[in-house]
Structure 1
Amino acid sequence: MTILACLALALALLPAVLALANLLALRRPPGAPAPDGLVSILIPARNEAANIRPTLEAALAGTGVPIEVIVADDHSTDATAAIVAEIAARDPRLRLIAVPPLPAGWTGKNHACHVLGQAATGRHLLFIDADVRLAPGGAAALAGATAKAALVSGVPRQVTGSWGERLTVPMINFVLLGYLPIPLMRRLMDPGLGAACGQIVMVEAEAYRRVGGHGAIRASLHDGVRLPRVFRRAGLRTDLVAATDLATCRMYTDFSQAWAGFSKNAHEGMATPRALPVWTLLLGGGHVLPLLLVIAALLGADGLPLAAAALALSLATRAAITLATREDPWTIALHPLTVALALALQWNALLRPRRAGVATWKGRTYPAA
C-alpha cells in the first residue's frame, strides 16, 4: 500500500506542477491590440434554433474590430435558417449561406467550416460553435493574439446546468491545463504539442487557406486536435489563451448528451490502444487511486499520510483550475468520480464493438477511424 501511495502522490504531482505553470502562463495578456482589418465570425449551424439567436446577438454586439458574421445552415430541419434570416434583415453585417450536400469523406462540421472559409472576406477568421456567446471584446482580443500565432484558441467559460454536465464537462480544462505544457508548446513547433478548443478558433485567413483549412482535416471529428497540428506541420505557430472572459458556452444539457458528445471524437483523442493505457495510469493513478487508498487506509491498511497527501494535491489542482476558469466550484469534491467517468467513457469508446458507423452526431453517422 505504501508503494501505491507513493506512486499516487507522484502521479498527482505531475498535473499540479503543469497546472501551476500553465495558469501563470495564461494570465499574460493575450497579445497586441486588435489589428486593422475585418474579422469574419463564422458559425456552422445544423438544427440550432434553440441556440442561434443569442449567439448572433452576442457576435453582432462585438466591439474593437470591424466584423462580418456568416452562418452556414447545414441542412437544418428546424427554424435555424428562418431565425438567421430575420436577424440578417435588420443587420447587413450578417449573412446566411446554405451548405451544399455533404461530400463523401467529409464530416459535417468540417465541411460547413470549409464553406464558411470560402465565403469569408475578413483578414481574420473566427470559427465559433452555435452555442458560443462571445463577449463584446472577445473577437478583438483573439484577433490581437494572432500577432504571435497564426491560430489562436482558448476554452470559453463552460456553463453547466445539470449534474450530468458538471460531472463530465470540467475534464476539458482539467486535461488541457493539467497535462499540456503550454510554455513548452509556445517554444517548440512540435505538432504533437498543438491543441485548440474547437468551440472557438481564430486564424489568419491567408495562413488558413495556405495550409488547406478544414479541408486538410476533412474526415476528422476532432478539429481541436487536428487543425493546430496542420498549422504546426506547415511551420506556423499556434497558441492557447485564457478565454474565460472572452466567451461562454453550454455544450450539453444533460449526461446523455455529454456522453454521446465526448464519445464521438474519443478515437481521435485518448481512446486509442496506445494512448488510453497511458492516460489511465496518469489520470486513474493520480486522481482516482488516492481516494481508494485513503478509504483502504481508514479501513486498516497502511500508507494513510501519503495517500491523503496525494488526494489533497489532486483536489487542490482541480480547485485551482476550476476557480481560474470560473467553473462550478461545487464539482471540486466530486473530482475522482469525474475522472473515473471520463476514463469509463474512453474505454467504452475503445472497446465497444465496431460497426460500419462508429459515431452518430447531428443526425449523421460517420465511418470508423
Structure 2
Amino acid sequence: MLFALVFVLLLPLVVLPVALFLKNLKEFSPATSDPARIREAEREAISVCIPARNEERSIANSLESILQSTHPTYEVLVLDDHSEDRTREIVESYSKQSERVRLVTSNPLPPGWNGKQHACWQLAQQAKHPTLLFLDADVRLAPDALTRCIAEQQLRGAPLISGFPLQETGTLAEKTLIPMMHYVLLCYLPLDRMRSTTKPEFAAGCGQLFVAQREPYFTCGGHQAIQQSRHDGIQLPRAFRRHGFRTDLFDGTDIARCRMYETTLQVMRGLLKNATEGIANPKLIVPFTILLVGGNLLPIGLLVSARYGKSSIFVLVLLGALVLMTWIPRVLAAIRFRQSIGGALLHPIAIAIFISLQWIALIQRQLGAQVTWRGRI
C-alpha cells in the first residue's frame, strides 16, 4: 500500500517533465533558413554588440567568425570593459583591418551597475542599425548567422528573441552540468504558453545571444532596466515583458557555438553566479527541489530500496521503467543539441550537484556573500 502511494506521487514528477520536454522539443526550432525569409532579412541592417572584459583568449575567434558573415549590411562594436589583458590591442588590430569593426572604450562602472549590463547599454547607444545583436565574446557565428537571426525575429514577430548556441564542453563537469540549461528550460517551461502571453514569469533566454529591435529595446529601458542583474538571460526578457512586448526563443545550435567555461571551478562559479536570479530564490527553490529531486533521484532511491528489500519482479520492473524515463530528456537533448552522451548518462549526478549549488547560492546570498566574476562582485 505504501509503495502504491509513493509510486502515484512520483509518477507525475517523472512523466510530466518528460512529456513537456517532448512537446517543447518540436517547438524549439532552429533559426529559419526559408529562402523567401532569408531574402527579406538580407535587407535589414544589424549591429553586433560585444561586451568584452579580459577576453584575449576568445575575442579574435569571435571576430574572425563574424567577419566571414554573408550578411550585406552589418557593423561590429566591441566594448573594452577595462580589460587587464590584450583584449583592447586585439580588437584595435581588427578595427584597422576592417571598417566594420569598431572599438568602444567603456566609461567607468557606475555604482550599482553590473559590468556586462553597463557594457551592453553603452554599446546599444553607440549602435546605428535598427536590429541589435548582443553577443558574448566567446561565441562564434556561422557565415549565415546574422541573416538567419533577423529572419527568425521577423518570423516570430517578437521584439526580443534569444538563441541557444551549441555548447562546447571539454571537462567532465562541463559535459555533465552545462546541458542542464536545456534540461530545465525544456522540461519546465511550456513554450506555447510563453508565446501566448507577455507575463514576466514566463521570461527565458540565453545571455550569450540576444536579438533586439532598437525601438522596443529603448522603450523598455534595455540593459539599463536590469543594471544590477548578473543574469540577463532571464532579466532582459522580463524587462521587455513588463512593457507588454513578446519575447521568444530558438535553437541556435547550427548557427552559433560557445564554450562558456574551461575548468570545473569555472563551471561551479558560473552556476553559482547566476543561480539567485533563477531557481535559487525563496519562492522557487523548494518547488524546484521537489520537482528535480522527486522526478529524478527519488525513483532511483526507491528502486535500490525495493531491490534490496526483495520486492516482487513486478515492482522492480515498474520502478525500473520509471528510472529509465528520467534519462529520456538528457539522452534526446544530447542527440539534438550535440551534447555529450557520457554527460547524459551522469544525469542523476548532474541533478544532485545542480540543486546543491542552488541551495549554496541561496545561503550565500542570505549571508551577504557574492561570487566574484572577472574580478568584480
TM-score of Structure 1 vs Structure 2, range by shorter chain: over 0.9
Which amino acid in structure 2 is aligned with residue 52 of structure 1?
Answer: I
1:315 has 2:327 as partner: yes
Residue 363 of structure 2 is matched in structure 1 by: 351
Q: Percent identity?
A: 41
TM superposition score normalised by structure 2:
0.93
Alpha-carbon separation, structure 2, partners of 1:355 and 1:81: 37
Q: 1:294 to 1:200 in 2, by over 3 A?
A: same
Residue 43 of structure 1 is matched in structure 2 by: 50
1:281, CA displacement in angstroms?
Answer: 0.6
Residue 102 of structure 2 is matched in structure 1 by: 95
- Comparing 305-314 with 232-241, greater Cα deviation is found at 305-314
State the Cα deviation string for residues 349-368 of structure 1 (Å, max 9, x = none): 11237455523111011xxx
State the Cα deviation string for residues 248-298 of structure 1 (Å, max 9, x = none): 110001111011011012111111122101001111111112222222222
1:331 has 2:338 as partner: no
Which amino acid in structure 1 is aligned with residue 213 of structure 2?
Answer: E
1:49, CA displacement in angstroms?
Answer: 0.3
Q: Is the 8 A contact 2:47 2:133 kept in 1?
A: yes
Alpha-carbon separation, structure 1, partners of 2:332 and 2:255: 20
Task: Return 5+ residue gaps in structure 1 as ranges.
Answer: none
1:306, CA displacement in angstroms?
Answer: 2.9
Q: Is the 8 A contact 1:287 1:339 kept in 2?
A: yes
- Comparing 140-149 with 79-88, greater Cα deviation is found at 140-149
Which amino acid in structure 2 is aligned with residue 21 of structure 1?
Answer: K
State the Cα deviation string for residues 90-135 of structure 1 (Å, max 9, x = none): 1110001111110011000000000100110111100011111111
1:4, CA displacement in angstroms?
Answer: 2.7
TM superposition score normalised by structure 1:
0.95
1:28, CA displacement in angstroms?
Answer: 6.6
Alignment length, in residue pairs?
365
1:6, CA displacement in angstroms?
Answer: 3.2
1:283 has 2:285 as partner: no
SS of aligned partner of 1:41: strand
1:199, CA displacement in angstroms?
Answer: 0.6
Q: Is the 8 A contact 1:177 1:321 kept in 2?
A: no
1:35, CA displacement in angstroms?
Answer: 5.1
Task: Return 5+ residue gaps in structure 2 as ranges.
Answer: none
Q: Is the 8 A contact 1:216 1:230 kept in 2?
A: yes
Residue 25 of structure 2 is matched in structure 1 by: 23
1:24, CA displacement in angstroms?
Answer: 0.8
Which amino acid in structure 1 is aligned with residue 144 of structure 2?
Answer: G
Q: Is the 8 A contact 1:195 1:224 kept in 2?
A: yes
1:146, CA displacement in angstroms?
Answer: 1.9
Which amino acid in structure 2 is aligned with residue 236 of structure 1?
Answer: F
Q: Is the 8 A contact 1:124 1:202 kept in 2?
A: yes
Q: 1:363 to 1:332 in 2, by over 3 A?
A: same
Residue 11 of structure 1 is matched in structure 2 by: 13
Alpha-carbon separation, structure 1, partners of 2:166 and 2:321: 30
Aligned-residue Cα RMSD (Å) equals: 1.6
Alpha-carbon separation, structure 2, partners of 1:96 and 1:29: 29
Residue 374 of structure 2 is matched in structure 1 by: 362
Which amino acid in structure 1 is aligned with residue 91 of structure 2?
Answer: V
1:304, CA displacement in angstroms?
Answer: 2.1
Alpha-carbon separation, structure 2, partners of 1:35 and 1:273: 46
Alpha-carbon separation, structure 1, partners of 2:59 and 2:266: 18
Alpha-carbon separation, structure 1, partners of 2:7 and 2:352: 18
1:155 has 2:167 as partner: no
Q: Is the 8 A contact 1:38 1:121 kept in 2?
A: no
Q: 1:301 to 1:263 in 2, by over 3 A?
A: farther
